[in-house]
Every structure is written in C-alpha cells, then in structure tokens.
Amino acid sequence: MFDGSLPFNDEPRPQGFGYPHDIFVPDRITVNKGDHVLIHYVNIEDIAEDHNFMMESPYRFDAVVYDNASNLSGPVNGGKGAVLGTHLNVDTVVLGQGQNATITFNASWAGVFPYRCTFHQPTMTGYLVVIG
C-alpha cells in the first residue's frame, strides 16, 4: 500500500493550509458503533480540480454540498457558502474547487471501511474505524 509520502508529483506546489496534494486529512476516522457521524469535507485546491468522497458498502451517507464559503462581502451562510445540492443515501459526492460538504451517517457496522477520492488513488484514501 502506498502512503502520502511517495513522490507521485515531482513538482511540489504550495497547497491550502499547508497540506500536501491529494491526501485526506485526517486519513483515519475512529468512532463507536451506533454513533451519528458528521464529516466536514472541504476541497482546498488552489486550482480547478474536483475531488470526491466515496465510501464502500455497506456504508451510504447523506451530504449537503455548499459553494465557496466566502465572497467579496465576507462569509456566506455561516462560512459554509450557498447550498448547491442535497444528496440522500449515496456512496459518493463530488466537490469542485473551494466547495465543501457536510456528510452524515450512522455507524451501524463495526470494522474498518475505506473511504477514498476515486479521482486521486492511491494516495487519497482513508479509513473509517468503527469500534464495537
């Protein structure tokens, strides 16, 4: 398995918030079985590049996708941006540059479940760890 330290891109460039390119931060989410999980997912790209968040079966989730969190007048919608769409019972959601989403689901199954950006594998992979 590859990790985010491998030199897949030989031309490093600055990234938002100081994070390397094409990784999840965090790359591991640990919860207890039965927990209601809320994930804030943000595409911090400084270029027009899409990312998605995909969870494998048996997990599905609800997501609200927001536009850029600010405009020339300041923060929009409490810093979340204008609502672009609501997605119910899905396994993937796509975010464009600067977009963000709230992802919610119940941790109903114990185990280790990968989540990934299918556009940027293998480095953009993380794991949901459900204890119990």
Q: Which secondary structure element, helix H or strand E, spans residue 103, and what is its range? A: strand 100-106
**The CATH fold of domain 22-131:** Immunoglobulin-like (2.60.40)
Q: Where are the domains of the chain?
A: 22-131
Check if the beta carbon of residue 70 is closer than 8 Å to that of residue 130: no
Tens digits of pLDDT across the chain (132 residues): 333 433 334 444 444 445 567 888 889 999 999 999 999 988 888 788 899 999 999 999 999 999 876 544 555 566 667 889 999 999 999 999 888 899 999 999 999 999 999 998 788 999 999 999
CB 77 within 8 A of CB 66: yes
